[in-house]
Structure 1
Amino acid sequence: MNPTMHTYDSKPVLAQALAGRIAAQLSEAIASRGSALLALSGGSTPKLLMETLSGTEIDWSRVTVTLVDERWVDDSDERSNARLLKTHLLKNKAAAAHFVPLYAAAPTPESALATINARIDGLALPLDVAVLGMGGDGHTASFFPGGDRLDEALDPNGTHSVLPMRAEGAGEPRVTLTVPRLIEARALYLHIEGDGKREVYEQALNGTDYPITRVIKLAAELETYWAP
């Protein structure tokens, strides 16, 4: 499957375009089913997207937001994706949204795995919109090269919604939504910026075995948004 590629001249223009697309799909979900479910990625790339999305005119009180993945740190930690989301998205009009975290107050992700899976499985799945990012090593979500549970997380027939992940490139232990939860999303996006990431993405399209390569192959539909 060759994903659709949307290219933009600048990051602000990309953020406006993708935020508008996401907002429209969340509104459609609310109109059709009474609620909407959105999963966003962390990192520095989506900050402007979150800021832009926070001011969109939709019924945020009917939107539930969760994360694609999370570092196993409390949301007071600067590296917390929950903190990033609360800072850049859950304000302005989006302050009315309901947030479901992937972190739980437990010493390890493994010890809280049942709790987190129950939390995600209790949502009105499938996700209406999921937005992935990608690292320079070809990881997406917390599907890191060499991850201890990478094959399990990338198994399209897996039964877990969330799995822990430990890898040399991950820093802290992490938890991540698994491939089944991501590829079943009604809309799946990949948001990348910069020439380096575009090069990695094109390598993935040409068959280099990155984790993102496997997601691209498994997804029925994936739209990529890129700006320099």
Structure 2
Amino acid sequence: MQLHQYADSNELNQDFANRLIAILRDAIAKRGAAYLVVSGGRTPQGLFLKLNQADLDWSKVTITLADDRFLPDSEADSNERLVKASLLQQQAGAATFISLYAPTATAELAVPELLQRVKNLPTFDAVILGMGEDGHTASLFPCSKEISQGLALEAPDLLAVNPTTAPYQRISFSKQRLLNSRALFLHLVGASKLTVLEQAQASQDELAMPIRAFIHHTVPELAVMFAAK
């Protein structure tokens, strides 16, 4: 794990955007396409607003989410709604987006269709993770009965998750699929998140704090992008 600390979130977002743009340009130059996995919530919104203005051939970029709440994008708490409103704008409006929602009665019933959507995705070029105060990342919640499956080596690419400490059913990429990336980032803002990160570093128990699966991974090595404010 490499920790990159910044004076504030604006400085963080500018450097982070530059790094991601370089990764995407390199992928397009070498392989003709780029694949970016982002996270939802408030933390990445400033980053998205910098990324969407980048002079890049966005028509060759495919974007998806590490996880999403099982909600249509008409709902305010949908991560897809956030990504469409803040990232898939300006220049980045030309990118292809892969949704993790399908209109079924439950998240479990949506999984077969969603697995078909993502089955041909190659190694990701960059994955951006977030982290909760409980050490969850994506929707790999330590409180959920699905956590062992989500962290398993033989896990499917996507799974339905039913957290007991957070609202909504979720759809999440598994640990193994998220680790299948050329670059791996953890985006953190707030002093309390550094405390959680230090707690996670102190042990190997992934079931208690799933972020440990990524902190202790070596290839790719996790780059932590952190600002206290």
Q: TM-score, normalised by structure 2?
A: 0.95
Partner-residue secondary structure (3-state), 2:64: strand
Q: Where in structure 2 are the equivalents of 1:172-211 lying within 5 Å?
A: 172-207=168-203, 209-211=208-210
- Could you tell me how far 1:57 is from its partner in structure 2? 1.1
Moved more, 126-135 or 200-209: 200-209
Partner-residue secondary structure (3-state), 1:64: strand
Partner-residue secondary structure (3-state), 2:138: coil
2:36 aligns to what?
38
Q: Where in structure 2 are the equivalents of 1:1-228 lying within 5 Å?
A: 3-123=1-121, 125-155=122-152, 157-207=153-203, 209-220=208-219, 221-228=221-228
- Could you tell me how far 1:219 is from its partner in structure 2? 5.0
How far does the alpha carbon of each residue in 1:13-51 deviate from its partner, in whole angstroms, 9 at most, with x for none? 100111110110011000011000001001111110111
- CA distance in 2 between counterparts of 1:49 and 1:147 reads 30
- CA distance in 2 between counterparts of 1:126 and 1:152 reads 21
CA contact (8 A) 1:77 1:83 kept: yes
- Could you tell me how far 1:77 is from its partner in structure 2? 0.3
- CA distance in 2 between counterparts of 1:112 and 1:219 reads 33
CA contact (8 A) 1:154 1:215 kept: no
- Could you tell me how far 1:61 is from its partner in structure 2? 0.5
How far does the alpha carbon of each residue in 1:65-95 deviate from its partner, in whole angstroms, 9 at most, with x for none? 0000000000000000000000110001101
- CA distance in 2 between counterparts of 1:70 and 1:188 reads 19
- Could you tell me how far 1:218 is from its partner in structure 2? 3.7
- Could you tell me how far 1:146 is from its partner in structure 2? 1.6
- Could you tell me how far 1:215 is from its partner in structure 2? 2.7
Structure 1 unaligned blocks of 5 or more: none
Letter in 2 for 1:14: L
CA contact (8 A) 1:147 1:165 kept: yes
Partner-residue secondary structure (3-state), 1:215: helix
Percent identity between matched residues is 39
Quote the RMSD (CA, aligned, Å): 1.1
Partner-residue secondary structure (3-state), 1:170: coil
- CA distance in 1 between counterparts of 2:155 and 2:212 reads 21
- Could you tell me how far 1:154 is from its partner in structure 2? 0.8
Runs of 4+ in structure 1 deviating by more than 6 angstroms, as ranges, are none
Moved more, 146-155 or 73-82: 146-155
How far does the alpha carbon of each residue in 1:166-196 deviate from its partner, in whole angstroms, 9 at most, with x for none? 0112310001011111111110000001010
- Could you tell me how far 1:217 is from its partner in structure 2? 2.5
- CA distance in 2 between counterparts of 1:39 and 1:151 reads 22
Letter in 2 for 1:52: K
Partner-residue secondary structure (3-state), 1:85: helix
- CA distance in 1 between counterparts of 2:115 and 2:226 reads 32
- CA distance in 2 between counterparts of 1:50 and 1:169 reads 28
Structure 2 unaligned blocks of 5 or more: none
CA contact (8 A) 1:142 1:170 kept: no
Q: TM-score, normalised by structure 1?
A: 0.95
- CA distance in 2 between counterparts of 1:94 and 1:33 reads 19
